[in-house]
Structure 1
Amino acid sequence: MFLSELYRYPVKSGQAERLQASGVGLLGLQGDRRWMVVEQDNGRFLTQRAWPQLSQLQASDSAAGGLLLQVPGQAPLSVPVPDADTALRGVTLWRDTLRVPDAGDEVAAWLSQWLGKAVRLVHCPEQRARYLPSGYGLNSDRAAFPDGFPLLLVGQGSVDDLSRRVGRPMEVLRLRPNLVVAGAAPFAEDGWMRIRIGTLEFRLLKPSVRCIFTTLDPATGARSADREPLSTLKTYREKDGDILFGQNLAVDGEGWLEVGMKVEVLA
């Protein structure tokens, strides 16, 4: 088995950035979901579930060390990383509330013009990261702005099995993984507890619960008229009312991941 693909999502619900290699640590892949778009009035996060145009929001590291944003119809914008302890804004991400630095008026106006809604961009420095959902992981585990966990793994064999059942290829990015592992049987990852990739060990904490997000075309944000692959997943991957695909992970220590690295199951 080997690591076949690596992805990060610099802005939560924004476009994926495919990587050949990445640093990895407490908050997952370096730069993954450290930024988030929130409503100006109440600090609630925006998601492609309600705002599919976020699928067109491209983000990458800027030459100045911050974030470079690009969207259709507007000039690119470079956003510096805000100070960790100033201009704090209260935000809500599902059931979590936290105070994180606001990225400033310029990017807020830029995003608000594009979305047609008053929004702000916020950043999550490591010292302001959230705890994981109750009952999962260690007290030392943290996450920035993913739905709940710092890393998400899917098996390529599982994606191929899903595509066969649906009857057409399902893009892996519908599942928003960080790590894709090839060479394992479909859903072999369901039985893993600990794995090693390179010098790093990962703990598999919880299956990933799936929703309407999987029905969005990752390139366009258009929703599948037939609700695939969610409709098919419901027929064989539903447990206690939740549709499960992929595994949420935490990492022990810091290190480096690169596509092609061997994946070993430790437990």
Structure 2
Amino acid sequence: MGEIIAAKVKSILVYPVKSCRGISVLQAPVTSTGFRWDRQWMIVNENGRMYTQRVEPKLALVQIEFPSEAFVEGWEPSSNSCMVIRAPGMGLLKVSLSKPRAKVDDVSVWEWSGSALDEGAEAAEWFSKYIGKTSRLVRFDSATQTRSTDPDYARGYKTMFSDQYPFLLISQGSLDALNRHLKEPIPIDRFRANIVVEGCKPFSEDLWKDIKVNKLTFSCVKLCSRCKMTTINQQTAVANPEVTETLQGFRSDTILLPNKKPKGQVYMGQNLVWKDCYGGGGNSKVIRLGDPVSVLRQVSSTAEAAA
């Protein structure tokens, strides 16, 4: 099928520290593992296992600040460049964006384990105090480590500390449709999207297989199954099950995917990989607010979507 302009980019969000608050930006450089800086850091327990809001909802209140120039294509940090971290009741934590030196082994996120770069004692003490449990802040070591995406859905691609895939896209129309079912409308921050688009019908993204954002081509590899984090208010860290219960009523696998074996999941949004990430080319590799989103290929119904 031909190229159809279906939507435009409304918001771009980057989450440097897994499960902490995201940063809304005007533009973001695209890499093979996701937006630059996205989920490059993670908080781990004394056994190297990830902490997320599922178990520690107060991570929702941890704010991350970056130099604005960090999202300009080609920018490289100097020895003075820092990520600034804030949380209620805590002093400022500054983490150098220049690579730390110490390595730590046996860091794990879901099924993957490997080594990472340790951000040191000050960051460890800060997060241990805030969470109330022994913690360390670690950085993905892309020089020595690879974390592959599920080959059943996206063979040959990789990510850093995101749950499964490099990018997550949701339409504003889908959020608006959900909010019509909820007693209290919720903002998009519940869904941890990287790209929010507008101008398309609710859940149009279910059908998309290949899309172009500006001049960059992405494959939509899997509907995003939603977890407990969508129930956590990102301003208060308090959970309310209404979101999941409501999605169960019209976005469950039994409803959307009647020909597939039910897994007890609810879905909202599409996981993406950057299709031409290994192809070179001279075009700017940045996504900006307002960029057009074209659909290159789509399925005819949600029942045909990968999930």
TM range (shorter): over 0.9
Give distance in 1, aligned partners of 2:184 and 2:221.
Answer: 30
Secondary structure of the equivalent of 2:152? coil
Q: Do the aligned partners of residues 249 and 87 (structure 1) sit closer, same or farther apart at CA in structure 2, a change above 3 Å counting?
A: same
Q: What is the letter of the counterpart of residue 44 of structure 1?
A: R
Aligned ranges 1:149-160 → 2 under 5 Å:
149-160=165-176
Secondary structure of the equivalent of 2:127? helix
The answer to whether the 8 A contact 1:82-1:103 is kept is no
Q: What is the letter of the counterpart of residue 239 of structure 2?
A: R
- 1:250 paired residue number: 273
Cα distance, 1:51 vs structure 2: 0.5
Picking from 141, 153, 175, the partner of 1:136 is 153
Q: Unpaired runs of 5+ in structure 2?
A: 1-6, 68-77, 254-261, 278-283, 298-307
The answer to whether the 8 A contact 2:101-2:118 is kept is no
Give distance in 2, aligned partners of 1:110 and 1:86.
Answer: 18
The answer to whether the 8 A contact 2:21-2:64 is kept is yes
- 1:228 paired residue number: 242
Q: What is the letter of the counterpart of residue 271 of structure 2?
A: N
Q: Do the aligned partners of residues 25 and 250 (structure 1) sit closer, same or farther apart at CA in structure 2, a change above 3 Å counting?
A: same
The answer to whether the 8 A contact 1:84-1:100 is kept is no
* Count of paired positions: 263
Give distance in 2, aligned partners of 1:100 and 1:265.
Answer: 37
- 1:123 paired residue number: 139
Give distance in 2, aligned partners of 1:7 and 1:174.
Answer: 12
- 1:108 paired residue number: 124
Q: Which deviations, in whole Å up to 9, do the C-alpha atoms of 1:63-104 show, x marking residues without a partner?
A: 823422111222212112474774233211111112111111
Give distance in 1, aligned partners of 2:289 and 2:124.
Answer: 35
- 2:60 paired residue number: 55
Q: Does 1:7 align with 2:13?
A: yes
Cα distance, 1:35 vs structure 2: 0.3
TM-score by length of 2: 0.82
- 1:207 paired residue number: 223
Q: Does 1:260 align with 2:298?
A: no
- 1:187 paired residue number: 203
Picking from 147, 160, 166, the partner of 2:182 is 166
The answer to whether the 8 A contact 1:82-1:101 is kept is no
The answer to whether the 8 A contact 2:49-2:108 is kept is yes
Give distance in 1, aligned partners of 2:37 and 2:252.
Answer: 32
Picking from 43, 49, 52, the partner of 1:37 is 43
Q: Which moved more, 1:129-138 or 1:205-214?
A: 129-138
Cα distance, 1:167 vs structure 2: 3.6
Give distance in 1, aligned partners of 2:89 and 2:265.
Answer: 39
Q: What is the letter of the counterpart of residue 19 of structure 2?
A: S
Percent identical across equivalent pairs? 33
Picking from 91, 111, 134, the partner of 2:107 is 91
Q: Which deviations, in whole Å up to 9, do the C-alpha atoms of 1:142-188 show, x marking residues without a partner?
A: 10111010100001111110000124312111111000110111111
The answer to whether the 8 A contact 2:150-2:164 is kept is yes
The answer to whether the 8 A contact 1:84-1:125 is kept is no
Give distance in 2, aligned partners of 1:129 and 1:221.
Answer: 32
The answer to whether the 8 A contact 1:190-1:207 is kept is yes
- 1:219 paired residue number: 235
